[in-house]
Structure 1
Amino acid sequence: MKSLIITSVYKPSIGGIESHLSSFVKHWNDLGHYTEVAVIDNPRDYTFNSIDGTKVHYIPTIFSKPLQLFKPLHQYIINMQDFDNIIVHDPHYMGLSCHFVFYKKQYHQKIFSVTHGGFFHTESKQKLKHFIFNNITSKIISHFHQVIAVSKKDYVKFGEIISANKLSLIENGVEKIGFNSVKDFSQGYRLVYFGRFSSNKRVHILVDVAKALLELTESVHLEFVFIGSGDDLAIKNINRLKANYPSRVSYFAHLDNQKLQQQIDLANIFWTASNYEGFGMTVVESMMSGLIPIVNNIEVLTQLVDHKVTGLVVDFSKSPKLIAEELLFEIRKSDFASLQEKAILEAETYSWKSKICEYEKVVKSVMEN
């Protein structure tokens, strides 16, 4: 099959959707299919690139003429008549998805949509978001031949506005990040957080708890690594903590893949205080790489991490001192070798090698009907 991926984000940008797309393309091609990627970009001339052996086309938009916003995209798809299907990645289900409301009948390809959590990842403007979701998104999404939910939460949410026969559940696939899955806990604990510093990730809480942990004990050796950007206050607090504990705290705004893998290999715990996740991809990635997950007590994450079986679940709404005391207690008594072994086994169920076969089954089924 020849598949055309349409998205507004792609490598070299870094994020959950970019990671998903990069892995999908690699494993889809490994099955013998062919893929090209079209990236809806800022207004500019058409450009072409090749990333990891895959053709990537950058399609300009026409912001000066709203009704012709995606006219260049339409012309591009018309020129790609030999492709069998189109897979759209637009979690907001607005401009890019609206394109197919107007032009779908002019395309012979089957058109798929992948959810990526929709636009509910923050608590802001929830009433407005639900109104848009129920009254506008529901109309737009009906124009796709099949919608693929990437998490159980998405499957339930999008099931409210689309019929069951047009909705499939394929939970996110993940790749192993680090090389060394066997972690050493005899010399202490190195806790890492990597990812976006967006408001729902609440990195500032991790910084406060790290400070409390370092103040509470000298008997347990603890180190903390923060990797990411996007929250100036959290970064300021990290640097302040680093100044007080230069050998225990590290911060990196951005690392390339090789250096990120090195930091994952040096760490033995991944932790997050996030209060919203569409899926929790970094948690599963860290588990697959041998890190013990410590996660906030929210439903999406507790579906991934079984407390005291595959990791630890903590209520990050408590005071930093109380959280630190609970963590120290759990760290001192936990059998980390057992947690690690079970966490790796659990994470492997989300391997892209198995998930891509689920995609192939769904796509083939829709193509044949």
Structure 2
Amino acid sequence: MTSQAQKPLIVQVVRQFLPNRGGLEDVVANLCHSLPERGFRVRVVTCDSLFSEPERGRLPVEEVIDGIEIVRIPWRGSTRYPVAPAVFRHLRDADLVHVHAIDFFFDALSWGRLLHRRPMVATTHGGFFHTKAFSALKATWFNSVTRVSAQGYANIIGCSEADVRTFQPIARDRVRLIENGVDIGKFEDAASKVPARRLVTIGRFSSNKRLPLLIALTAALKARHPDWSLDIIGVPSDLTVDMLQAEARKQGVEAAVTVHKGLTNPEIHHRLAEVSLFVSASDYEGFGLVAVEAMSAGLLPVLNANAAFVDLAGRHPALSLCDFADIAATADRVEAAYVRLEAQGPALRADLMSAAHAYGWSAVADRYCDVYRSVLGLASVSPPAMSFDTTAPAR
């Protein structure tokens, strides 16, 4: 039997982690929880403050949360590209380094690989194309700096078919598709058991989510039926609670739009009991994890037709796609979804929840561990792949 000290140590490097909450943080946390039972030790290296709550100041340098060892390091500069060179100090006992997202860590650990000499893999998490802002500069950076940085990684793991298509031109056959796992238990079967004219969106209050469009959508729906309302659940980013509430007042729907900051998962589960429809106007997603979480709750998603959501809807025809910039057409689609719930409610909820199970973390963690073992030259011990084939070519 392998002792704990003999198990390979995987150091996960990510700019934000617990106690912060978000899609990226959830993915890393779930992966960390899955690794010990698969024969790996794990440590997370992250920045020492929360970008969404700078008033909290610096967090403890070392901490264990939910059984995960966390080391925090100082940083400076932009929250999109936090410069944190102290990361190199915490790689000395790593057997493999796993970098999450395309930012300073991705670049610095590649360009400095002769200093740390550790094998590395990276997961894309949507790259840095979450908004169209500075698109020309981003394209130039991607095809120069990111292209060179990618050479330092044994594998680049695309967490969606869209990411694979983006990164294959600069990393070719080193790109692998492992779609994000989803914690399908935390909101399972939480949605209203009867159709309700109540919408919810969950995620960071960031500009790429286009939350003002959801507020405008709510206003358009209320003009048709007074019962429509919207819950916005998440944590502040470049949009704040005050900004969203001001937009609701501007649209005349302040009584119908409720903004919830920093709810725990049990609190979110409780809120979803009054909701039937999940909406997202996001113009970019790395994978669409939150839409799958919504499906696991029994919520019917109506989604903006970005690349990740188009790929997801290609597998699950129950999902509705539209252009959220066209408020009237989107309102039509939402009302049509509500009519479907009235006609097919229990069966539709059951189908959505069943489909979400294909994204559970067990099979996803097995695939990540296969990558780790391959890079480290260890034998694979994974069982046969479960659920749908995530290595299938993009549609």
TM-score range for the pair, normalised by the shorter chain length: 0.7 to 0.9
My pick for the range that moved more, 43-52 or 135-144, is 43-52
1:327 to 334, 339, 349: 334
After superposition, residues 212-231 of structure 1 pair within 5 angstroms as 212-217=220-225, 221-228=227-234, 229=236, 230-231=239-240
Q: Which SS does the other structure have where 2:331 is aligned?
A: helix
Q: Which residue in the other structure is 2:385 paired with?
A: none
Counterparts of residues 294-305 of structure 1 (less than 5 Å): 294-305=302-313
Q: Which residue of 1 aligns with 2:244?
A: 234
With over 3 angstroms needed to count, the CA separation of the structure-2 counterparts of 1:348 and 1:139, relative to structure 1, is same
Determine the structure 1 residue equivalent to 2:68: 54
Alignment of 1:38-187 (within 5 A): 38-41=45-48, 47-61=61-75, 72-78=86-92, 80=93, 83-92=94-103, 95-164=104-173, 166-176=174-184, 177-181=186-190, 183-186=192-195
Q: CA RMSD in A?
A: 2.7
Shift in Å at residue 90 of structure 1?
3.6
Match of 2:15 among 8, 14, 20: 8
Q: d(CA) in 1 for partners of 2:101 and 2:229?
A: 38
Q: Tell me, in whole angstroms, the C-alpha distance in 2 between the residues paired with 1:70 and 1:159.
A: 28
Structure 1: unaligned runs, 5 residues or longer: 64-68
Maintained 8 Å contact 2:125/2:158:
yes
State the secondary structure of the residue aligned to 1:161: helix
Aligned residue identity for 2:88? H
- Sort the Cα spacing of 1:53 and 1:211 in 2 relative to 1 into closer, same or farther, 3 A: same
Aligned-partner SS, 1:55: strand
Q: Which moved more, 1:19-28 or 1:257-266?
A: 257-266
Within 2, Cα distance between the matches of 1:329 and 1:289? 20
For residues 134 and 284 of structure 2, the distance between their equivalents in structure 1, rounded to whole angstroms, comes to 15
SS in 1 for 2:112: helix
Alignment of 1:253 with 2:261, yes or no, is yes
Which residue does 1:66 correspond to in 2? none
Q: Distance in 1 between matches of 2:167 and 2:74?
A: 30
Matched, 1:289 2:297: yes
Contact 1:151 1:172 in 2 (8 A): yes
Q: Secondary structure at the match of 1:327?
A: helix
CA contact (8 A) 1:308 1:339 kept: no
Worse-matched range after superposition: 173-182 or 22-31: 173-182
Percent of counterpart pairs with the same letter?
A: 25
SS of match in other structure, 1:266: coil
Q: CA deviation at 1:311?
A: 2.5
TM-score under structure 1 length normalisation:
0.86
Residues 1:310 and 2:318 are matched in the alignment: yes
Indicate yes or no: 2:34 matched with 1:27. Answer: yes
Between 1:142-151 and 1:101-110, the stretch displaced more is 101-110
Change (3 A) 1:103 1:328: closer
CA deviations on 1:106-136 (whole Å, 9 max, x unpaired) are 4453211111111111101111111111111
* SS in structure 2 of the partner of residue 18 of structure 1: helix
User: What corresponds to 2:53 in structure 1?
Assistant: none
User: 1:195 Cα shift?
Assistant: 1.0
- The whole-number CA distance in structure 1 between the counterparts of 2:340 and 2:298 is 19
Where does structure 2 lack aligned partners over 5 or more consecutive residues?
1-7, 50-56, 78-82, 379-395
Q: Which residue of 2 aligns with 1:343?
A: 352
8 Å Cα contact 1:8-1:41 kept in structure 2: no
